[in-house]
Amino acid sequence: MNKKGFENKIEGFSKISKEEKIKWIEKNYFNNVSNPILKNYWNNDDSLQKIHDEFTENTLSNFYLPLGVAPNFLIDNKDYTIPMVIEESSVIAAACKAAKFWRNKGGFKTSILNFKKTGQVHFIFKGDKQKLNIFFKNNKLKFYEDCKEISSNMKKRGGGILNIELLDKTHDIDNYFQINAVFDTVDSMGANFINSCLEQFASTLKNEINQCSDFTNSDYSLEIIMSILSNYVPECLVRAEVSCDLSEIDQTGGLSGKEYANKFIQAINIAKTQTSRAVTHNKGIMNGIDSVVIATGNDFRAIEAGVHAYAAKSGMYKSLTDACVKNNTFKFWIEIPLALGTVGGITNLHPLVKWSLELLKNPNAKELMKIVAVAGLAQNFGAVNSLITTGIQKGHMKMHLINILNSLNASEDEKTKLIDFFKNNIVSFSSVKNELEKLR
């Protein structure tokens, strides 16, 4: 007998058709009332819809997010229009503003500081540590050899396994060791490649230790816990920077160049020392980063996890950006870990991802890291610039106005009138509602 609240269990949901899934949802959650919304968001082109259906499981429909662009970015003396997928108002506007601001001051300069990814085989070994170390040294080549087939393609593209080492982690957990492996996955994010290599390392470890004459069965026990890449990528690091003479920022926000730079640096110092501010500061950076990462078909969860861990690498969560004034030059920069790919995954499948990459002139992974870091730096510049001058709400609420008007079902005519009215009035949900009611 079903208990209340457990009536909706279904076996084999994944096997029934999309139409049947929708019917089941309607029956069990919407009192059999059908709503056309899910089907309205299907693509008219069946083959295109099928691609989207197959990205994941139990697909019912598509979920739209706006794709916008930020033109006028000058990065390492090349022009870019950056695609951004984001639902939050003001983000793209801020990116556009920052791009324009820095364009005639030399633009953004970038460099790749490092380009390595890692993964670990986590295992428990009970036995003679010394013997394990010697075994690993003597059999290192076998680990590479057993991965030959998996890594042959990656090798042809210029990457592969860069190093493997045995790490003694017994001070953290009793009998716990890792095989730590370092990879270059060239233009792919490389998750599948890394995980396949790691699983092979795990089985090589098991097989070889079993056959090793230094160990008898009663000598040791080995348990592989798991083999998985790490999204902590502090060695897949990119730097982006802007700089200019103080005279070039004179009268920004009504401040002298020196006053502006000092106030800006104070804002950064606060984010470098106060976690409460650092989280919001970095969230603003991620507005720029995530929107380009999504537009280019990369895994924003992996990027987010890696970036925030990096921000806390000193033991305290801090700003990802920094600024200084030296010899009358204001400098503002970001150093950020970004393990991105421009091949593999959905990069060649999702039509809008393909379009976005084309818009960026089909960058390789390193070039994409640079562009994404710039998007983060530009976003942070936009936010801090507003915060230390006009305040954030001025720009924000103007952009948010359109969302409020849409949520109140304003007509196009009403929108035009109210956008004009709120050029000189303070936007809030109630003030917009009041003005709309007056119009009606």
Q: Tell me how far, at minimum, the Cβ of 98 lies from ligand MEV, in Å.
A: 13
Residue 319 contacts ligand MEV per CB under 6 A: no
Residue 198 contacts ligand MEV per CB under 6 A: no
Q: Which residues contact 220 (CB under 8 A, 6 or more apart)?
A: 125, 126, 127, 128, 131, 132, 209
Nearer to ligand MEV, 181 or 336 (CB): 336
Euclidean distance between CA atoms 133 and 167, whole angstroms: 9
Token pair of 278 as six digits: 């650092």
Q: Tell me how far, at minimum, the Cβ of 276 lies from ligand MEV, in Å.
A: 11
Q: Tell me how far, at minimum, the Cβ of 287 lies from ligand MEV, in Å.
A: 5
Residue written as token pair 């800006």: 264
Nearer to ligand MEV, 392 or 402 (CB): 392
Determine which residue in the list 78, 148, 157, 283 makes contact with ligand MEV, applying CB under 6 A.
283
Residue 142 DSSP class: H
Euclidean distance between CA atoms 58 and 35, whole angstroms: 18
Concerning whether 109 is annotated as a catalytic residue, the answer is no
Nearer to ligand MEV, 133 or 280 (CB): 280
Task: Identify the three-state secondary structure at position 177.
Answer: strand
Q: Which one is catalytic: 20, 87, 88, 358? A: 88
Torsion from C-alpha of 409, 413, 414, 417, nearest 10 degrees: 150
Euclidean distance between CA atoms 345 and 308, whole angstroms: 23
What phi, psi does 318 have (nearest 5°)?
-135, 170
Token pair of 42 as six digits: 């299907």
Determine which residue in the list 197, 233, 383, 418 makes contact with ligand MEV, applying CB under 6 A.
383
Nearer to ligand MEV, 238 or 286 (CB): 286
Residue 392 contacts ligand MEV per CB under 6 A: yes
Residue 400 contacts ligand MEV per CB under 6 A: no
Nearer to ligand MEV, 74 or 320 (CB): 320
Determine which residue in the list 281, 350, 370, 400 makes contact with ligand MEV, applying CB under 6 A.
281
Token pair of 182 as six digits: 């370092």
Query: Which span (78-86, 132-140, 275-283, 312-320) binds ligand MEV, by CB under 6 A?
Result: 275-283
Q: Which residues contact 205 (CB under 8 A, 6 or more apart)?
A: 121, 123, 143, 179, 222, 224
Question: x-or-dash pattern for ligand MEV, window 66-105, by CB under 6 A?
Answer: ----------------------x-----------------
For the chain, counts of helices (H) and of strands (E): 15, 10
Residue 288 contacts ligand MEV per CB under 6 A: no
Pairing of strands 109-112, 237-245: antiparallel
Q: Tell me how far, at minimum, the Cβ of 285 lies from ligand MEV, in Å.
A: 8
Euclidean distance between CA atoms 23 and 376, whole angstroms: 43
Residue written as token pair 């990119």: 238
Residue 385 contacts ligand MEV per CB under 6 A: no
Applying CB under 6 A, the site for ligand MEV has a residue count of 8
CA 110 to chain centre: 18
Euclidean distance between CA atoms 43 and 45, whole angstroms: 5
Concerning whether 88 is annotated as a catalytic residue, the answer is yes
Q: Which one is catalytic: 53, 187, 299, 367? A: 299
Nearer to ligand MEV, 284 or 376 (CB): 284
Concerning whether 171 is annotated as a catalytic residue, the answer is no
Residue 278 contacts ligand MEV per CB under 6 A: no
Residue 84 pairs with which residues in a beta bridge?
68
Q: Which one is catalytic: 18, 155, 331, 396? A: 396
Q: Which one is catalytic: 50, 126, 129, 283? A: 283
By beta carbon distance, the residue nearest ligand MEV is 284
Concerning whether 168 is annotated as a catalytic residue, the answer is no
Nearer to ligand MEV, 120 or 386 (CB): 386
Residue 301 contacts ligand MEV per CB under 6 A: no
Residue 318 contacts ligand MEV per CB under 6 A: no
Euclidean distance between CA atoms 325 and 333, whole angstroms: 12
Nearer to ligand MEV, 157 or 283 (CB): 283
Q: Are 105 and 87 in contact (CB under 8 A)?
A: no
Buried b (16+ CB within 10 A) or exposed e, 409-425: ebeeebbeebeebbeee
Mark out the alpha helices in 257-330 (DSSP H runs): 257-273, 275-295, 300-311
- Interface with ligand MEV by CB under 6 A: which residues? 88, 280-281, 283-284, 287, 383, 392
Which of the residues are catalytic?
Answer: 88, 283, 299, 396
